[in-house]
Amino acid sequence: MNPASFRQLIGITASSASVQDSTLIIIDAQNEYAFGKLQVEGISESRAVISALLQKYRQGGDDTELALELEELTPRSGEKVITKAFPSSFAQTGLHDYLSTLGDFGKKIVLVGYMAHVCVSTTARAGHELGYDVIVVRDAVGDRDIPGVKAPVLTAVSLSALEDAFATVVSASDIGV
């Protein structure tokens, strides 16, 4: 039997998300992570999942929170882009204020992007601290090898830590229409 997570122990149930009740936040889906010095392992697979989720959100709602640069993820007119200077998408940006304008859609955030151990993790933790219902899509998150840890292990451990205390972790197929 698997041990209970911290969230389970304190009575927080796992969340679900649909395009009708959440905001998609794409974190650092930039060319750097595909072609630069910070290349993410398995980026072809995760960026395809991110692209499919973006299409799902575009078809199901008006506003989608974006922070991206990969070609297939180019923002459309009316889609909000938040520029950030720190690992957290909330630190010294207008993201929290923007989400507040979205009503119920802004209370549940669905996180995808790069890198799991830095920007995704920091944004998820900050979102939790700000009272958001945080969901992270495991197959739409990636990372790179770092000294002593291979990317798949780093991603898995980062997501397990988030799922233990700060977020619900789901697969893209779990996001409803």
The predicted-structure confidence for 70-124, as pLDDT tens digits, reads as follows 677 788 898 898 989 999 999 999 999 999 999 998 999 999 999 999 999 999 9
Q: What is the mean pLDDT of residues 130-140?
A: 98
Q: Which of 28, 133, 139, 143 is catalytic?
A: 28
Give the integer Cα–Cα distance in Å for 103 and 100: 6
User: What type of residue is 131?
Assistant: G
**C-beta of residue 38 within 8 angstroms of C-beta of residue 142:** no
Q: What does the pLDDT read at residue 141?
A: 98
Residue 67: band (very low, low, confident or very high) from pLDDT cuts 50, 70, 90: very low
**Catalytic annotation present for 174:** no
Give the CA dihedral 121, 122, 124, 126, nearest 10 degrees: 160
Q: What is the mean pLDDT of residues 131-143?
A: 98
Q: Which of 21, 63, 84, 107 is catalytic?
A: 84
CB atoms within 10 A of CB 37: 7
Q: Which of 56, 80, 108, 119 is catalytic?
A: 119
Helix (H, G, I), strand (E, B) or coil at 143: coil
The predicted-structure confidence for 17-54, as pLDDT tens digits, reads as follows 999 899 999 999 999 999 999 999 999 999 999 999 99
Q: Does position 58 have pLDDT exceeding 50, yes or no? A: yes
Count helices and strands (H / E) in the chain.
6, 4
Q: What does the pLDDT read at residue 70?
A: 64
Q: What is the mean pLDDT of residues 154-173?
A: 98
**Catalytic annotation present for 28:** yes
Q: What does the pLDDT read at residue 66?
A: 37
Phi/psi region, residue 92 (left: phi>0; alpha: psi -120 to 50; beta: rest), is left
CB atoms within 10 A of CB 80: 18
**Catalytic annotation present for 119:** yes
**C-beta of residue 16 within 8 angstroms of C-beta of residue 102:** no
